[in-house]
């Protein structure tokens, strides 16, 4: 694998490790807790993050269909810790497999986003996948903090 893709995968691994750290020791109740209106549970955020990463790396950059059901990601409940950890591990393994097939020149290849018809490059799709994942890592971390602090207002 070329160094860029190794570095990219390491950054994605760091994000996944951050998610694993953020959910460590949480109960099923905590994983499904929704902090407020128009907000998501940690389980939903993990399903959406992994679905999004798979979509941008696979469907767009590598052009390998995932048959993603984005709406289903937001209905997840009672997934459990083992399912969430497996989903993260499978997501990272898929990314590794897809990136191993790519070369630097592939980053400039034109792609079309099927949801809106916009043209972008495979490189943009990879960067967006990482950006999106890290933003959801932050949301997961904050949701855990809110879970731990609920009812403890000063």
Q: DSSP letters of 72-84?
A: HHTT--S--HHHH
Dihedral sign (CA 140, 45, 34, 139): positive
Residue 154: pLDDT band (50, 70, 90) is very low
Helix intervals (H) in the chain: 3-23, 28-32, 42-54, 70-73, 81-100, 122-149
Work out the number of other CB atoms within 10 angstroms of the CB of residue 96: 15
pLDDT of residue 153: 53
Look-up: residue for tokens 């709406």? 71
118: which 2 tokens?
A: 């916009």
Fold of 3-148: 1.20.120
So where are the chain's domains?
A: 3-148
CA angle 57, 4, 95 (to 5 degrees): 30
Please state, in angstroms and rounded to a whole number, the distance separating the CA atoms of residues 62 and 80.
Answer: 30
Tell me the per-residue pLDDT of 110-122, one tens digit each, with 9 for 90 and over: 999 988 999 999 9
Mean local confidence (pLDDT), 135-145: 98
Q: Are 115 and 55 in contact (CB under 8 A)?
A: no
Tell me the per-residue pLDDT of 18-61, one tens digit each, with 9 for 90 and over: 999 999 999 999 999 999 999 999 999 999 999 999 999 999 99
CA proximity to 13, closest of 99, 77, 123: 99
Task: Kindly report whether the global pTM for this prediction surpasses the value 0.85.
Answer: yes
Q: What percent of the chain has pLDDT over 90?
A: 95
Q: Are 59 and 94 in contact (CB under 8 A)?
A: no
């Amino acid at each position: 694998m070329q160094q860029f893709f190794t570095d990219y995968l390491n950054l994605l691994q760091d994000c996944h490790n951050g998610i694993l750290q953020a959910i460590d020791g949480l109960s099923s109740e905590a994983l499904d807790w929704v902090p407020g209106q128009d907000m998501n549970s940690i389980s939903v955020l993990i399903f959406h993050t992994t679905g999004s990463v798979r979509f941008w790396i696979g469907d767009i950059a590598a052009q390998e269909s995932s048959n993603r059901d984005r709406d289903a990601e937001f209905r997840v409940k009672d997934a459990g810790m083992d399912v969430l950890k497996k989903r993260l591990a499978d997501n990272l393994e898929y990314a590794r497999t897809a990136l191993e097939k790519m070369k630097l020149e592939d980053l400039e290849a034109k792609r079309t986003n099927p949801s809106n018809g916009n043209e972008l490059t495979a490189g943009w799709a990879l960067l967006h996948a990482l950006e999106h994942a890290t933003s959801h890592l932050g949301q997961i971390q904050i949701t855990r903090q809110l879970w731990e602090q609920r009812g403890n207002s000063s």
